Amino acid sequence: MIVDNLKTPYYAVIFTTILTDNQENYRETAKRMEALAKLQKGFLGIESARSELGITVSYWQSLEDITAWKNNIEHTEIRNLGREKWYKKYQLRICKVELEYGFEKKI
């Protein structure tokens, strides 16, 4: 699903991943992290796609909200587990979104 109800400016955290062969409990844990993120102050939405390369973009009101999410205890524990078990490589980028537009075909 595409998040399309955001008001600029806001922040996007782009999390790009390549997974290891060990995916035990990965999907369940990713769902848990998404549910936990939705409870955090400043969370605005999330979009995710996975093939060989996974990309998850979460949207936040402020840099302070992103830092609070990064420092969440459960999120920190899972991030460490991901480094040990699930991720071959990842890259995280934080961007300020100042302009957005889109299109939707009405069928």
CA separation for the pair 18, 97 (Å, rounded):
25
Domain hosting 52: range is 10-95
User: Average pLDDT for residues 41-70, to the nearest whole number?
Assistant: 97
State phi, psi for 67 to the nearest 5 degrees: -65, -40
In the chain, the number of structural domains is 1
- pLDDT computed for residue 29 by the predictor: 96
User: Average pLDDT for residues 33-58, to the nearest whole number?
Assistant: 96
Measuring CA to CA, which residue among 17, 69, 76, 74 is closest to residue 43? Answer: 69
Domain containing residue 75: CATH number: 3.30.70.100
- pLDDT computed for residue 61 by the predictor: 98
Does some domain include residue 105?
no
- Per-residue pLDDT of 76-87, as tens digits, reads 999 999 999 999
- pLDDT computed for residue 40 by the predictor: 98
Does some domain include residue 18?
yes
Does some domain include residue 102?
no
Q: How confident is the model at residue 103 (pLDDT cuts 50, 70, 90)?
A: very high
Q: Which residues contact 71 (CB under 8 A, 6 or more apart)?
A: none
Residue 57 burial class via C-beta count within 10 angstroms: exposed 0-12, middle 13-18, buried 19 and up: middle
